[in-house]
Each structure stands twice: as structure tokens, then as C-alpha cells.
Structure 1
Amino acid sequence: MQKGEVPTVIIIGAGLGGLTLYHSLIKNKDKKEFNVKIFERESTPQDRWQGFHIGISGYGIKSLMRCIPPSVVSNLPKAMPDPVPGEYHSISITDHTGKVLMKPLIKQVKDFYEITNTHNGFILTYRDILRNVLCEGVPIQWGKKCTGYEETEEGVWVNFEDGSREFCDILVGADGVHSPVRKQKVPELEIFDYGVTFINADVAAPKHIMDKLLKIHDNCLCQKTLGLNGDTTFVALRLIPLENFKDKSEFHYRTTIALTYLTKFDEGPDRIKVDDNDPASAVEHAKFMIQKLRPKCEYTDIMLELWDLVPKSASTEQENYPFKTYNTIQRRKMQDINPLSVNSWKTSRVTLIGDAAHAMCPVLGLGANNAIQDADRLSQALLNYYSPENYISCIKTYESEMLKQRSADVLKSRSAALRQSSPVGGYFDILIRNTIMKIINFTINIYYYVNSFIFRN
């Protein structure tokens, strides 16, 4: 780029991080102007299911609000509606029978604006709708799968599967855990496999089932149960009835359900064959694993009821489904990427944000918030450029902070996930686990109370 020309930034990946970065660079054009292009490997916005319920925290909202223009802010309620009566935006953790072990006293908010003034609050959000909101007005170039890049002294050539090439001054990989950009930039960086399988889906859950769960979990919208064999179940919902649902006999709620278990349980003589491309087969597999790993009790029966609600066919049931699900059920390995697990990270015109740099397991709910914050910090760093000669120093400022903090977050999430996936043995092991959980809950709530008092004063 010649001095005085507008630098070109190419973003690979139109997920939450990539879209947030696009908006921020465009929004701040009065400070520094960029020619921003964003490419996505999917052919259309509907090619792939874009996620489930996620919790957006205070720091995630702060970054998002800094990055997006007012026109997009005005549409955020579509993805993160204001809390309604009866909702408690927190997490409840129980044993497999529904006995409460942990329930942090999360500060409740009236809307997403108020979260910016909290230190521990969050609001449960529809990830797919948030992505749709961030897509509005963005000239995404669809069907452009990046296969690699070539760095020169003048800039970066980006190569695509269709044979085309694009030139830019700065390349940002926001293309997820299997990022081609990361694989080339840091080829030594490996994905860490937990030895845990994760299955999740969205269902339309009837009120009578939700009433049972909300009573057990005291209206918490995020509900986790710990089994005896390293297995967990997870439920997340908003108490906002689905409109125009075909069953008018009672309210139904969009609900995310998940099951995790040690992958080794997929082996053995009693395993059943599962076809991940067949929703019905995947549902039966999830139910089989619950019955295999959980003692029969009322809570187990409720989980089986929920899994039986998952659409069994992507082709025949989708048309009448209240929310679009392109992959009705997903089974995958629980993995992460610790960016500081290698020493070969070299700052250049190519950088990474979100899962491309530091994919995390979903246990602590940090992934989406961190991707949004990455976009915010990178855009703020790039606003400090004054010539092509200092692009790399601006990127280094971002990467130095990102690598240190995200590595800590990855390891914290990993530690929590591995602890919860550890099987417990007899009565005394269960007693010790439950006692530790209750002590941790007490400590967390004391910490939250003290901090709330400090912030209030």
C-alpha cells in the first residue's frame, strides 16, 4: 500500500467475532478509514445451524456496544429480549436426581443495557438470531472458502477454493476452531481433545415439562446436572412462548438441551450404531447414553422426554418448526486450543480472533464473549496505525494481551470441564464431590455479595 491510501482488511469468517470486527472498523471510519472485506465459506446464511442459547456477559455487551452502529444496536432485542417475569438469568447445578449443589447469586438486569454496569451478570441470548442481526447490511461474500495465504513485503494474498485471490494489507482469521488461516500461521498449534463427546439440539419444550425443571432449579434458565459417570446434562431456555406453535394446548418454549459423556462409552459390546447425518439415529443415541449412564429416576425421565422432542427428520419436519434448524442435532468432540501451548507465535500482517485463536469448551460460557471482545480490542489497536510500517506493532499490541488472557481462559475452562467429567465412585466419593460443590457455591456467593456491595458504594 502506498502512503495515503486506505488500507484493506480482509476478514475470513462471518461469525460473531468476524462480524463484530467488520462493524467496528466501519463504524470508526471518522477516526481511521479501512476498506473492509468479509468472506464466508458457507454459500448462504442458512447453510448451517448457527448455534443455540448463549450467555452474553457484561464485558461481552460492553465490547459489542462499542463496535456496532446504532442501527444494529436497535435490533439487538431480537436476539436478547428483556427478561420476563419468572426468569432468573443464572445457572443451577444439581446432582442427577435434581438435588441442588450450586446456584450462584447472579445480579439480575432489566435489559441488556444494564448488564454493562454489572460485574457478574449475563443475559441468555439466541446465538443464531444475534448472528442474523449482525449480518444485516454487511456485504458478506458467500461461498468463499479460504485455502491459505501468501505474505509479501507489500501485503497478503488470500487464496480461495474457487481459484480466486484477494490482496489485503491485513488478514484476520475469524474462521473457527478448524481455521485454515491458523493452520498456516501457527502449524504447530494442536487442538486438545478432552476425550468427551458433546451432543446438543434445540427443541420446542411444552410448559408442563418446563414447570418441572424450573421448580427443581428455582427458575434458573441455565440448568446443569452432574451424573455419576462423568456425564452431564444441560438445559437452557427463555420463558418466552413460541408464537404460532402448532400445538395450542399449552405454551411451548425454545429450549437448548445438551448431553456430555466420556467418549470411551461409545465403545464396548453394548454400543449402538449411530449415524450423525440421520437426526433420528442421533436422538436415539443420546437417549441410549442417558439410560446407560443414569440411574432411573424422575429427572432421568424428564431428560428422556426432552430428547424425544428433537426433530427426527431435517427434511419433513423443518418446514413447520418454529425456529430454523439446518442441522437439528449435533454430536462432536469437546476440544479447545491453548494459543500459548507453542512458542512459535510470530506477529505479522496475519492475525486471529475468536475460536480460530483460542477455541474453548462451552462449560464456562466464555467463547462468544471472548470473540466479541477480541474484535473490539483488535479494532481499537488498528485505529492507532499511522503508516504501513506500524501495522505489525498495532497487531502485536492486540496479540500480546489476547494471547495471555485467552490462554488463561482456555485453561480455566478446561480444568472445569475435566473436573465435571471425572466419574465418581461410591457413596463417599459422591458425598465429597457434593460437599466441595456446596463449599464452592458458598465462596462464590460471598465473593459476589462483597463485590456487589463495593460496586454499589
Structure 2
Amino acid sequence: MQQKIPTVIISGAGLGGLTFYHALIKNKDKKEFNVKIFERESGPQDRWQGYHIGINNKGARSLINCIPSSVALDLPKAMPNPIPDVEYHGFSLTDHTGNLLLRPPSKQVKDVYEVAKVSTGFSAIITYRDRLRDILLENVPLQWGKKCIGYEETEEGVWVFFEDGSKEFCDILVGADGIHSPVRKQKMPELQIFYYGITQVLADVAVPKSILNRLIKFTGKGTFQETIGLNGDTTFVIFRLIPIKEQEQNEPRYRVTLAFGYPTKLDNDEQNPVKVDDNDPASVIEHVKRMIRKLRSECELTDIMLELWDLVPKTTPDPKEYPFKTYNPVQRRQLQDVNPLAVDVWTSSRVTLLGDAAHAMSPILGLGANDAILDADKLSQALLNYSPENYISCIKEYENEMLKRTSADVLKSRSIALRQSSPVGYFGSIFRNAIMKTVNFLMNFFDTNLFLRD
């Protein structure tokens, strides 16, 4: 008697959920599943999907392993091949004046396939997250406007309930529905969000070549740049040196992701209360510029940072006229994470979690998207051994690996973020800078592969 084809429901169509969908379909000759994927958003442009992300060697390897060749052919639209001698895909850290502190060695590659072959964790390709999501959406029978609000497990399977009153039945439910996942809140109610006490403001902006050239003069042509100040303040500038062709300008412009972070307590000063209207982009932008002036000394790099933030739209632009298709008005947000090993017992069942739903983390190391893609790869491989008798062992195999891997990444990202948000003052910065320069020398002098084997 032929066994029925098991049904897998995926709640959430971010990078992790979509990659998992493709992996199950790609491997249907080995193990066939009836795969259904649901998303709470009303459509592909309902919510901002943007900002630059770095896809590292592990993320690239798993992505290529999971997606079919038809989707892989479109990857250059989201992660254009690095431009030799123009772009340097790597990370650099400077102090608030542009003094180089850390630039780990990063092997330069010609495309995402070479990234996948690199053995160290310092190589990555800067990727347009929104375009990658669009590519992963192609030919996926996604059901929009379906927010999962809960589920009920039975001996036979799982009933999944949606906000619109409908329900679906499946053999396996995968919650890939983000940091505020309703699936996680039901499965692991004791797994709580950890707040850093750090406020961050993010924006994607079109930057004229002249301003970007001035930045590169200070910090180099690395595509992922961070600066740290004396007062727990940090800036991130992530970019590709590919002109925005949609806009006719006398001067080429480039898509740049900006981030500014600072201790949240600075917003809660009782003597000097901060007044910001988070529903008014102009108010938030002026607040960021005010904080930069307050926390950083006057210098040319500070001036450049102020100019970059002044380019952020003060009102929400018409998406049809803005080069990124959708736009997310700037708002302050609290950095937070979820450590899946924060609970003593993780009981494997027909319901499991993937990506931010299980292990949202600080973006400081750029590991979140890569871990979500890696989750999709690991879970799809584990389910190749699925049967009605051993499904629990398949889920457990995946969860054991995921918990160990991602908890380490969550805690590592948390540690660095908290350390950088601690004010050091002038004399403390001298000590900090000396240590980081020493680390930088050692990392670049010795064969980094000795320390960073996969």
C-alpha cells in the first residue's frame, strides 16, 4: 500500500522560509512532500524587505545547495559579481576619526560560487536583501495575507490556525515567522526576547559618488564599514559600488545602507529628555544628527556621517519614483535577540522553528540571514529520512544542530554589540584602539585559516 505524501506547512516567507521551500521541492525525487507556504503580508511589496546583507561562505554554500538551477541563474540580480579593483568585499573598523583599528583578511572572489568555496568566515558578498527575496519568490505558490495565530497538535498531525478564521492540516509545521513568531510563543513560551539597551536607526539611501569617495578616502573601499566612538556610539555603512541606473543624475549615485547605534539610556535622560516623533522621519533624522554631534568630536569623518544622514528622505517617498521599489521610513528600534538555549528543555515535536523565530540576533556580525539559510538546508536534509514512524528523530536531529550552532552565534553577536556600546572615554579609547590594532596585526600576519577552519 502506497503511503500518503506528508504535508509540510511553512509559516513565513522570509529568506529562510523560502529557501526551505525550494530545498524540499528540489529534493522531491529523494523524498516527496506536499509543501504549503503562508505569509502574513498582503503582497510582495507590502513591507520593506531591504537593506544590504552579507552572504558568507556557509550561507552561500547552503543557498546553492537548496535552490534549483532556474533560481540560481537569477542570483546575480541580488548579489552582483564583485567589481575587481573597484570593490573590496570585506569588513573594516575605524575609530570616530577614521583611524583604522581592524580589517580582517578577506579573500576576494568573482561570484557567489567562489564565496561558497572559501574556507574562512571573513569572506562574503554584499547582497541586496529585497532582491534576493524577490528571486526566491519566483514560481512559489505562496498564499498571502495568511497570518498564523496558533496551532493544535494531535496524534495524526497539526492543525494550523490563521487570523482570517481559516485552518490547514499538516504533518509538520515550520515556524519561519520572525522574531515575534506566534509559533514560537506557543511552542516555547518561556523563550524570551533579550533587549540590549541599544537603540539603532537604519536607512537605505542613494548617495552621490562625491560623498562616497570622501568616505572611502578615510576608511578604504571595503563594502562593510563600521566606526566606533567614545560614548558607546557606532555607525555602519554598507554599500555596493554599482551606480543606480534607474535615476538620471549628473553624478552617479550608489545604494548605501546606514545604521547609527547608541545606548538607549541616552534617550531616557531625565534632565534632558529626548523628544522624537518616530512617526515623523524628519524628526528621527534630526535626532540622529543631533546625537552624532553630541557624541562625536568635530572632524571630517563626522561631517561625512552627517551629510550621509541628511540624504535620508525626510518624508516617505513615492515607491515608484524611489530607486528601491519600496521604502521604510526611519524609526528608532531596540536591538534584541533570542537565544534558543536560554531554556533547559527543547522538546522536539511535529512543530519546529527556523531563522529569526528561533534565534534572532544582533546584525553586528551579519550572521542572521546566513543562519536562516543554513537552517533551511539542515532541516531539509534531515527530513529526507522522514517517515510516519521516525519524524521526531528527524526534527530532533535538526534541532540539536541548530540549537548549538545558532546559540553560539547569538551570544557572540550579543557580546560584541554590548562591548561596543559601553562608553570608554578618551583614555579608554587609547587602550581599546591599541588592543584592536594588535589583533589586526596578528590576524593579517598569520594564516587566518589556522584559526577559522569550518
TM range (shorter): over 0.9
The aligned counterpart of 1:99 is 99
Distance apart, 1:3 and its partner CA = 6.7
One-letter amino acid of the counterpart of residue 376, structure 2: A
Deviation string for 1:101-121 (max 9, x for gaps)?
Answer: 111110000111111211231
- Pick from 152, 157, 160 the counterpart of residue 159 of structure 2: 157
Distance apart, 1:408 and its partner CA = 1.0
3-state SS of paired residue (1:193): strand
Distance apart, 1:186 and its partner CA = 0.4
The aligned counterpart of 1:175 is 177
The aligned counterpart of 2:13 is 14
Alignment of 1:416-455 (within 5 A): 416-427=416-427, 429-451=428-450
State how far apart, in whole Å, the 2-side matches of 1:134 and 1:402 are. 22
One-letter amino acid of the counterpart of residue 109, structure 1: V
Distance apart, 1:447 and its partner CA = 5.0
Instruction: Give the direction of change, closer, same or farther, for the CA distance of 1:51–1:330 in structure 2 (3 Å limit).
Output: farther
Q: Are positions 1:405 and 2:405 aligned together?
A: yes
- Once the two structures are aligned, what percentage of the paired residues are identical? 66
State how far apart, in whole Å, the 1-side matches of 2:202 and 2:245 are. 23
Q: Contact 1:89–1:220 (CA<8 Å) still a contact in 2?
A: yes
State how far apart, in whole Å, the 2-side matches of 1:33 and 1:435 are. 57
Deviation string for 1:330-381 (max 9, x for gaps)?
Answer: 4211111110111131100000011100111001110000000000000000
Deviation string for 1:305-340 (max 9, x for gaps)?
Answer: 1111111111x4433211123313242111111101
State how far apart, in whole Å, the 2-side matches of 1:138 and 1:177 are. 23
The aligned counterpart of 2:114 is 114
State how far apart, in whole Å, the 2-side matches of 1:308 and 1:119 are. 40
One-letter amino acid of the counterpart of residue 4, structure 1: Q
Distance apart, 1:450 and its partner CA = 4.9
Q: Contact 1:382–1:395 (CA<8 Å) still a contact in 2?
A: yes
State how far apart, in whole Å, the 2-side matches of 1:243 and 1:451 are. 42
The aligned counterpart of 1:56 is 55
Q: Are positions 1:229 and 2:228 aligned together?
A: no
Q: Are positions 1:257 and 2:258 aligned together?
A: yes
One-letter amino acid of the counterpart of residue 410, structure 1: V
State how far apart, in whole Å, the 1-side matches of 2:178 and 2:324 are. 24
Instruction: Give the direction of change, closer, same or farther, for the CA distance of 1:413–1:173 in structure 2 (3 Å limit).
Output: same
Alignment of 1:292-311 (within 5 A): 292-311=294-313
State how far apart, in whole Å, the 2-side matches of 1:18 and 1:125 are. 18
Q: Contact 1:105–1:448 (CA<8 Å) still a contact in 2?
A: no
Aligned residues: 450
Deviation string for 1:370-423 (max 9, x for gaps)?
Answer: 0000000000000111x2121111000000111111111111111111111111
3-state SS of paired residue (2:393): helix
Distance apart, 1:160 and its partner CA = 0.6
One-letter amino acid of the counterpart of residue 114, structure 2: E
Q: Contact 2:289–2:306 (CA<8 Å) still a contact in 1?
A: yes
Q: Contact 1:27–1:67 (CA<8 Å) still a contact in 2?
A: yes
Distance apart, 1:454 and its partner CA = 9.9
Instruction: Give the direction of change, closer, same or farther, for the CA distance of 1:452–1:191 in structure 2 (3 Å limit).
Output: closer
Q: Contact 1:202–1:328 (CA<8 Å) still a contact in 2?
A: no
Return 5+ residue gaps in structure 1 as ranges: none
State how far apart, in whole Å, the 1-side matches of 2:81 and 2:323 are. 20
One-letter amino acid of the counterpart of residue 14, structure 2: G
State how far apart, in whole Å, the 1-side matches of 2:277 and 2:142 are. 33
TM-score if structure 1 supplies the norm length?
Answer: 0.95
Q: Contact 1:47–1:326 (CA<8 Å) still a contact in 2?
A: no
Q: Contact 2:90–2:224 (CA<8 Å) still a contact in 1?
A: yes
Distance apart, 1:41 and its partner CA = 0.5
The aligned counterpart of 2:283 is 281
One-letter amino acid of the counterpart of residue 306, structure 2: L
Instruction: Give the direction of change, closer, same or farther, for the CA distance of 1:340–1:134 in structure 2 (3 Å limit).
Output: same
3-state SS of paired residue (2:199): strand
One-letter amino acid of the counterpart of residue 238, structure 1: R
State how far apart, in whole Å, the 1-side matches of 2:190 and 2:345 are. 8
The aligned counterpart of 2:73 is 74
Q: Contact 1:311–1:317 (CA<8 Å) still a contact in 2?
A: no
3-state SS of paired residue (1:320): coil
The aligned counterpart of 1:197 is 199
3-state SS of paired residue (1:426): helix
The aligned counterpart of 2:43 is 44
Return 5+ residue gaps in structure 2 as ranges: none
State how far apart, in whole Å, the 1-side matches of 2:197 and 2:447 are. 33
TM-score if structure 2 supplies the norm length?
Answer: 0.96
3-state SS of paired residue (2:320): helix
Distance apart, 1:446 and its partner CA = 3.9
One-letter amino acid of the counterpart of residue 323, structure 2: P
Deviation string for 1:56-112 (max 9, x for gaps)?
Answer: 011101100110000000000000000114100011100001111111110000111
Distance apart, 1:442 and its partner CA = 2.2
The aligned counterpart of 1:27 is 26
The aligned counterpart of 1:127 is 129
3-state SS of paired residue (1:200): strand
Instruction: Give the direction of change, closer, same or farther, for the CA distance of 1:19–1:330 in structure 2 (3 Å limit).
Output: farther
* Moved >6 Å (runs of 4+): 452-455
Instruction: Give the direction of change, closer, same or farther, for the CA distance of 1:452–1:426 in structure 2 (3 Å limit).
Output: closer
The aligned counterpart of 1:394 is 394
State how far apart, in whole Å, the 2-side matches of 1:13 and 1:453 are. 33
